[in-house]
A and B are shown apart, each in its own frame.
Chain A
Amino acid sequence: MPKQYDEPVSLKQTLTPEDYTEAFAQVAFFAAPMRRRSVRALVCVTVAAVAASFLPLCSGHGAARAVAAAVAVVFAVAAAAVWFLGPVLEKRRAEKWFRSCPLAALPSEITLTGQSAVIVTSCERLTEYWTDFTICVETDRLIAVAGGRERFLLVLKKDGLPPEEAEKLSGLMRYVFDGRWAGTAPRKGGS
């Protein structure tokens, strides 16, 4: 492991519902590309378009025309629902989870090494190993790591960290996750 990651990286943070919902949304976006709202909306629009294309062919058959029209309308509405309501429902789901877990909102001290993360709060001490996680997503504000054994989503806030510490944290996570890293923060150099 490169020498710059021999020293553990520590941070203290308190998660807010906004942090958690942003992390949740980012992980959902990158971990399941086929379930993105653009893909699902496109599938619905395609089905609607195919059903609508049958309408001229069914001019002599009332029942078939009605079925084709119904399918077109239903899937067009579904496409709109997926596009406009999808993010709202996802945010609500994340907020609901965060409200259900007061332990996640406690102030925490997190120590990160090349092998693991240790999260300590007033009630809990969790040790998570990087090999258990499936994906790491980095944005300008935070790093979200999904797939933990003890708690599924680990959120690391870059906000409030000194720039050198934030860079060190970012570098460590890119090194550890390598091919499992994804994100909207710019890559700087090699990991």
Chain B
Amino acid sequence: MEPVTLNFAMTREDFTNGAAARLKMQTGGTYRAVTRLAGAALILTGCVLFAFHFTAGRPVQWLAGLCAVFGAFLLFLGLQVEETAVRRMASARFEKGLCGVAAQEVVFREDGAEFRSERYEAKIPYEMFYAAYADETTVLLCTASDESRIIPKRTMSLEEQERVEHLLAAKLNRKFKQEGAREWTK
């Protein structure tokens, strides 16, 4: 396989997209489903409490209102607010210069990935990666549970993106997750 070589400088958008991708990787489908279910359950609880208030005259209208409002937040806004907060924090870190060295080279080879920047040089076999993740803007290569290298997809052509994703899927198997791909189609 011909190596895929990428040279890029990290921009603020790349860094925030990477942070959002990391959030999506760590909070899988189950977390999102449970959050939405919890929101729906709270709204239902609010409705039941309102029914108690109007039928049995119990003074629970404030509690009912709180449940309904919090439930609506969880159901409709919770995940978006979480992603917005993560993006904002990432943007602040970028402003402070905490995103690491901007300019770097990444090479995807058959046997591993190479990274080169001012502070970091590595040739890492795929089996030593903890995980990998790809969404519509970013590929993440994780060297540990809280360490990841951000590779923006804007630096790759469509053909290169497909080659990289096929390579990661073949080498990492279940450690590679793609946003939107279902388990049984990988």
Chain A contacts to B: CB under 8 angstroms: 96-97, 100-104, 123-128, 149-152
Cβ-defined partner of A150 (8 Å) among B119, B124, B128, B146: B119
Compute how far the CA of A102 lies from the CA of B100 in the bound complex, rounded to whole angstroms: 22
**B122 touches A (CB below 8 Å):** yes
Provide the bound-state CA to CA distance between A124 and B116, in Å: 10
Q: Does chain A have a CB within 8 A of B13?
A: no
Alpha-carbon distance between A150 and B101 when the two chains are bound, in angstroms: 10
Give A106's nearest chain B residue, CB to CB: B128
Contact status of A103 and B119, CB under 8 A, knowing A97-B145, A97-B146, A149-B98: no
Tell me the minimal C-beta distance from B124 to chain A in angstroms.
5
Q: Would you call A128 and B119 a contact (CB within 8 A)? A: yes
Q: A123 CA to B144 CA in the complex, in Å?
A: 14
Interface size class of B (residues with CB under 8 A): 10 to 19
- Taking CB atoms and an 8 Å cut-off, the chain B residues in 68-122 that contact chain A are 98, 100, 118-122
Q: In whole angstroms, what is the CA distance A100 to B146 when docked? A: 9
Chain B residues with CB below 8 A from A101, complex form: 130, 143-145, 147
Q: How many Å lie between the Cα of A124 and that of B118 in the bound state? A: 13
* CB <8 Å contact, A96 and B122: no
For the complex, give the distance between the alpha carbons of A127 and B120 in Å: 6
- Cβ of B174 within 8 Å of any chain A Cβ, yes or no, is no
A125 and B120 contact, CB distance less than 8 A: yes
Q: How far is the CA of A148 from the CA of B144 in the complex (A)?
A: 14
Complex alpha-carbon distance, A123 and B124, angstroms? 6
Within 8 A of A (CB), among B8-49: none
Contact check, B145 vs A96: say whether CB atoms are below 8 A apart: yes
Closest B residue, CB atoms, query A121: B122
Do residues B121 and A124 form an inter-chain contact, with CB atoms below 8 A? yes
Q: Which of A100, A124, A150 contacts B130 (CB 8 A)?
A: A100
Interchain CB contact under 8 A, A123 and B119? no
Q: Shortest CB–CB separation between residue A127 and chain B, in angstroms?
A: 4
Choose from B100, B124, B145 the contact partner of A124 (Cβ within 8 Å). B124
Residue numbers in B under 8 Å from A127 (CB-CB): 118-120
Q: If A97-B145, A101-B130, A103-B144 touch, does A123 touch B100 (CB 8 Å cutoff)?
A: no
